[in-house]
Amino acid sequence: MARITLRQLLDHAAEHSYGVPAFNINNMEQGLAIMEAADAVDAPVIIQASRGARAYANDIVLKHLIDALAEMYPHIPICMHQDHGNNEATCATAIQFGFTSVMMDGSLKADGKTPADYGYNVAVTRAVVDMAHWVGASVEGELGVLGSLETGMGEKEDGHGFEGKLGHDQLLTDPDQAVDFVKATQVDALAIAMGTSHGAYKFTRRPDGDVLAMHVIEEIHQRLPNTHLVMHGSSSVPQDLQDVINQYGGEMPQTWGVPVEEIQRGIKHGVRKINIDTDNRMAMTGAIRKVFAESPGEFDPRKYLKPAMDAMRAVCRQRFEEFGTAGWAGKIRPLPMTAMAKRYAAGELAPKIGVTRQAAE
Ligand SMILES: [Zn+2]
């Protein structure tokens, strides 16, 4: 079965200059929608589950769901990733249930809401990296706290996110500190804070450089050309999805997400993993609202879940095409985690710091 680690997949993406959307799942419908889209365009996938998703679906159900998807689509490499792990135990148990990659988010304390200091972040991330690399799993770390540069506020998602208000010093990743962090922790991928936030209400206007600090990505990529960067909260919150929801009885205030062109610009500067949840949630909700509004007598869940899957599949397919992920699945030969563990032990995968991309190749 074509399970792949995040590190191997993002190394391939970097080599060929594309990005990979990471879609969140909680249930079978979302899993099938992602895989049908990936199959249609031959794209490798990153499926991620938050702690909230693991609690909602149950670890055993999720494990067998991913096994089922991998069996259905043996030609599509699947990376199964823990989104926003809050401590070592969350990351260890994810790997126990078949995840090939974990995020240790040490920007917040284990409660998932208190901003942590740098020393704590380094220590807890390094502990997870040691544990994960022994078994060949990958680790994404986070430096800087995700939140809006417009308001200083975070958006809690699945119980994860700070409370209160933070300053730009905490909401923007410091490029020099990023170099130190990657060196100290040996993470495979780095999530950075540059104005994106979780949920639908990211920006009150179409974002410009003041509220979406793409220059931070470019500065970090210059210093860490071989580190895979991750953009969280990167749904585009398309107007047409907002309109469908509101047309059929929803009440979503006008909002803006991260424009696809900005993500494409990020991909040119080292962004390899782009987290998307809200767009898929909105696509499904709009489709379900439409059925409910047009056929109020309907009570067979398949009659509204099927259109919901169709709508989500369309969003996933579009992102695979926009990020350049399409067409690569068949060209990747996934290594088992045991082989990745040997590569880590041999020092082959240690971060290259202060080396330009050209010199490293
Ligand atoms: Zn996130």
d(CA 44, CA 247): 34
CA of 112 to the centre of ligand 1 (A): 12
Could you tell me if 323 and 272 are in contact, meaning their C-beta atoms sit under 8 angstroms apart? no
- Tell me the per-residue pLDDT of 94-149, one tens digit each, with 9 for 90 and over: 999 999 999 999 999 999 999 999 999 999 999 999 999 999 999 999 999 999 99
Please, which pLDDT band fits residue 255 given cuts at 50, 70 and 90? very high
Which amino acid is present at 150? E
d(CA 138, CA 8): 9
Which amino acid is present at 296? P
Alpha helices in the chain (DSSP H): 6-15, 28-41, 51-57, 59-72, 88-96, 118-134, 168-171, 175-185, 214-223, 239-247, 260-267, 278-294, 301-322, 337-345, 357-360
The chain-wide mean pLDDT, for the chain, equals 95
pLDDT of residue 350 exceeding 80: yes
d(CA 193, CA 238): 22
According to the model, what pLDDT value does residue 346 have?
98
d(CA 91, CA 116): 18
pTM over 0.85? The answer is yes
CA of 303 to the centre of ligand 1 (A): 31
Residues β-bridged to residue 3: 78
pLDDT of residue 359 exceeding 60: no
CA of 157 to the centre of ligand 1 (A): 8
Tell me the C-alpha to C-alpha distance, in Å, between residue 338 and each of 12, 134, 261.
18, 9, 38
- Tell me the per-residue pLDDT of 197-252, one tens digit each, with 9 for 90 and over: 999 999 999 998 889 999 999 999 999 999 999 999 999 999 999 999 999 999 99
Tell me the HSE value of 84 on the side-chain side, using a 13 A CA sphere: 27
According to the model, what pLDDT value does residue 355 have?
55
Nearest to 86 by CA among 128, 149, 135: 128
Tell me the HSE value of 342 on the side-chain side, using a 13 A CA sphere: 4
CA of 120 to the centre of ligand 1 (A): 19
Instruction: Quickly count: other Cβ atoms within 10 Å of residue 359's Cβ.
Output: 10
Please, which pLDDT band fits residue 167 given cuts at 50, 70 and 90? confident
CA of 105 to the centre of ligand 1 (A): 9
DSSP 3: B
Q: Report, as an integer, the average pLDDT of 80-105.
A: 98
Would you call 83 a catalytic residue per the annotation? yes
Which amino acid is present at 101? S
User: Which helix or strand (DSSP H or E) is residue 142 part of?
Assistant: strand 138-143
CA of 297 to the centre of ligand 1 (A): 38
Catalytic, out of 39, 42, 67, 83: 83
